[in-house]
Amino acid sequence: QEAVFDKKISGLEEGLITGIIDGDTIKLADGRTVRLIGLDTPELNPPDGPIEYYGLQAKRYTKEKLLGEKVYLEYDKQKMDEYHRSLAYIYLADKTLFNAQLLKQGYGYLLTIAPNIKYEKLLQKQVQIARNKDRGIWEERRNL
């Protein structure tokens, strides 16, 4: 089940995804790096150790869903982070909010950082769905 919302995407900025850095960071054809707002996926290159649990799965899911796709970017109050990445909500052509979908399928954790909290409640709900259904990163956590 996709996280599709009745969102007008016609006025949003378009972008073509040409690269996937990890589960929550992508590259656009214009060269920009975009960090998805409201979530954090397990790290692939943590400074102090091995790949985090479910990091490869999160990247694979993002790649399957986004690579080569035309998407629509919605910004919140803060458009860039300290690493010069654009911060955005990503919509697919079918109006799926990918940020929410990633959480709903259990590939990430909620991470809302003010002032970018526009969809905090909505994203929180998606994490709850994933946890209740033991999806992804929540699958084995319940047994710990």
Catalytic residues, by residue number, are 35, 43, 85
Tokens 């959480």 sit on residue: 103
Instruction: Give the 3-state secondary structure of 35-87.
Output: EECEEECCCCCCCCCCCCCCHHHHHHHHHHHHCCCEEEEECCCCCECCCCCEE
Give the pairing of strands 70-74 and 13-22.
Answer: antiparallel
Please, is 115 exposed, middle or buried when counting C-beta atoms within 10 Å of its C-beta (0-12, 13-18, 19+)? Answer: exposed
Tokens, residue 54: 């479910």
**Coil, strand or helix at 26:** strand
Amino acid 115 reads P
